[in-house]
Structure 1
Amino acid sequence: MSMNDGRPMKGPADEIRLKEELASATEVLWSLLKAAKAFRMYLPNNPLRQKFIQDSITKTTGHLERYGQCQFDVDQYTTSYLGTKIHESRDPRESIGFRLYADGIRSLIFSAGLQPAEICDFLDIVGQNRAADTDDDIVTLLWMKDLPNITYVLADDFNEVNAQQASFPADASQQPGIQRVYQTPVEPVVQPVAQPIQPLTAAEAAALKQETTAEESQDPLPEVMRILAAILAGEMGRGLFGDFLEITDNLIGSLLQEGRLGDALQLIRFLQKMAASDKVPPGKREMIRAGSGSGVTAEVVLSLQQPFDTLEDLSLDDLVDLFRYLGSRHTASICEVLGKVQKRKMRKNIITALAECGKDSPRSFYPFLRDKRWFLVRNILTILTLIGDQKCLGSVIALVDHPDPQVRKEVLGYLLKHPDPRARKEMLRFLDDESEPLRIRALGALAAAHWTPALPAIEAIIDEKEFAHRSIAEKCAFFEALGLLAGDSVVPKLRRMAIKTGWLNRSKQSEEVICAIAGLKKVRTPAALEALGKAQGKWQGSALEELIFQALKEYEQADAPPRDAGEAQ
């Protein structure tokens, strides 16, 4: 049994070595293909171009260190190694072998000692686009570069060897033959007679100028986007798919940096559509999700503050799609942008979008609960409340005493929706908050939840001397909460307050009656109803009579059975 290149195979170990060598050569060829394409697509200082070049250098030199030589035999559409086909493409742009074959090269040989500079020169020759009328083919350019460790076999030599049925030495160079070609005198070429040139008319010149101007003013980006979309949607291996996916992600990052959010969103939605499509293989869908946002830096995200504040047509759906693409890796940067955006409507949309996209990673927001900017802390609390995250209760409780009332308001809002009993207990601290609206809101929430452990604290505050200095609205809120939580047990006290008569401090007496009525109408028991009736008789003909009448009316409406549809009409 023998190998395809004529070397004897002694056993299974040699077969394994052959497979490893073929795999290594395939990797070398693919790395050269990618690097050659990078020479065409990117400027010399582009990081992607430098990455592909370095990868080709590493794989080629590694192969040579292990096997000593790497010889690729090229046909019009295929490239082989040791007689085994390792690449096939009918697209000239996707094949180095096609260009080598077209210029008369049948074998390309890399030898031990190959330097990185030689690989770069080779890639520059086979990778760059050149005008069709240039006189320099690949053979000539290789000879002019004088690359000692890159040799080749020409078609004429290849045919001659085949005719003689001899083995061409792998390390034979064609440079001497090329030198003889250049030393051979060339017969003078007869120059063709110049044809007369017909000048353009004024109308033709104007039309040509108009077409040229229109073409130059066109934005090439939409065409580039269509090409990328068509390539990604086509059939290709995972390696090549990953390369173009990286190019697309980098393009999205560049568009965002330039503030072209509309164009970036077109590509983002195309990728999101592919990631959700059953027609795309699962492996590629996972590659799209894993690479999402990889081409965007933190600096680019921070630069979004300006378009967020200036663009008028950026919708909530746009922000949701953008934030989903950026992923949790950029949550911190988006929060920084939230802290800088000036437009109130945009801040509201950012908060809603972050709450929608951050459901799976609420911990990304936790560090901002300790931020020194009260408005950012408030917005982060709003996001966590919308998400319904229950794991940050300890961090939120630490903000109950925050110096800014706007932050404390959001803390109370978070505690109101939290099912943990500790949240109700912490709400009691708001009964002594310096902000009256927060005190009233906390009272109403505790009463509505019928959380009776709050009753001792409420009674203690009512009995304090300082309670008399609070507004009538807050006093009524405390007594309403007292009535809801204490029930019949507080009716005797409220009855005494409702019918008490005094000659001094009439305004204080009226306030006590008002507070007593506020509490009684929340008890909703026969005893409370009877107390309200006595109070109505006591204050008949006074300004308080109307207030008691409204309280009794609320009783009737609460106890009346609902009317059916016919009665309602």
Structure 2
Amino acid sequence: MSDLSAAQDMMTAAMAAKQNVDSELTSVTQLLKSLDRASKNVRTFGQTNSVGKKFFEQFYAELATHLSQYNILTFVVQREGLFFKEEIVYGSQTGEASENFAFKLYSDGIREITFHQDISSDDMLFFFAALSGTVGTAGTEDDDIVTRLWEKNLPTLTIVTADEVMKISELDDVLGPQGAAPLETSLRDILADANAKEAKGANEAQQRKTRFSSGVTGYEVSELELAALAKEIAAESSRDNVLYILDTLTVILSSEQSSDLLNKLFDIYDGMLKSLIQEGRWSTTEHVLELLSKADAFRPDLTEGHKQKIQRLFERLGTPEIVAMIENYLNTVDRPRTDGLPTIFLMMQPTAAPALCTLLGNLEQPAHQTLVVNALMELAKDSPEILVKHLTDRRPTFVRNLLMVITRWNNPRLAENVEKILRYPDPLIRREVIRTLATLRPSGSATKLIHMLNDPDEGVRLAALKSLLTGHYSAPFSNWEPLVNAETFGDRPPAERRNIFHAMRTTTGDEAIPYWTSLLTEWGWTNKKKREELAFMATDALGKLGTPAARTALETGAIKGTTAVKQACAAILAGTSKHPRTA
């Protein structure tokens, strides 16, 4: 029985350990996603930008929480990506850009990286800067990541390099964690043990160095190692050809001395950008454009002709040809990618605004239209006439998006252009026009808004009344007279007629009192109910107006009106006597 109890205890402990590893692995996976986002946004917007700060602070908080629970975070860096306790948690081709976290570390010779519990936010910001190559004053240093980290000598961030690993031949099996035995310790610990044995095994190593009688240096390769090599070759062969080409072009750009070849290289970049845009590979496109924008930093010897070629690459981004490629991808591909596309839009020149207007009108999905609206907000703000000329377009969705941009600009000079489409065929657009005018011109003449009260669409009339009731507009009673004296005025809904009277009160003041007085004293046997309804509404408006002339009108109604009107006027007069209106 004791043996059974012991076995049960062992199984319980093993299951608890597995759950702990699973929770730690989940935490690491989420942490790497946050690191990827934070690194990209800090690189794109800078450490001082609010967007970059937001993503970095979120990542650092998650890192601090993880380290407080697990003390240390160690990754083995391989060509395939980052390994954490034998599990690959971040691929070297994650996303579309080749220069991601794992790729950069592996390319610069780092084979293990460890984050310690007391790492500060400044240390992490330095690490991000080291990854993007901007640690110097001008951000133009040519040192690799290893050199930058060694120079800083951070105690909270340690690394093991490929040189350190390769010095100890006994570590060969460690370099393929997916096919080797489980690692119980980090590469740093293994290196320490191996260095202690180095002196003892020096003679054996020398003998192994020259195994062939011909004097050619060779290595014994076991079946297991051969299989691992074959697996690596297969993985390398399956890698995206475009990324291979971009890596090759980057090497040429950084080292080629021939001016003619550099000119041809920029022509190749032009073709590559078009190909990437056609396929919707926005993140890779962004990476290439960022590289080209910094070309004169790591190649200060570029001629003016080379710099002009690079400039033309950016100018071509906003040409109708390129924008048409973006439109074709977004409208024809099932579930098109948009990550990175907003950055591409913002990299365009202001001259791209006409082509982006055309794109906005042709896009089918609202989410895609929003991306273009945000881009036009920035690119066309200095030349709003480009947008304004499209307001007469007969596509309501397109016009509504243009009005959204104009409203956000809040440029009063554009109010006259917006007023020209007050009679737009679509009632939803007419409502939006009134709302836009309320933003661009929040006060002034109410004439055009009064005219909109004859619109056949009730929503348009309500939008106009809402603006008129703010009390910021003015108009003479003569503008209201055709509306309230029309034979159809009494057929409007009661709530609308009441609001019209209050809009008259806020825009004309005492000028409307003679009209309301006539309603209070009017007698007749026909349409008595409608006349009394209007009279009651007039008493309400006069009571809210509260001027001496309004009080005199109510007194007149209390004497000359019908019985019901007399009672209504007397009640309002009594109420104003108890609660006199104050200035």
TM-score normalised over the length of structure 1:
0.48
Q: Which has the larger radius of gyration?
A: 1
TM-score normalised over the length of structure 2:
0.47
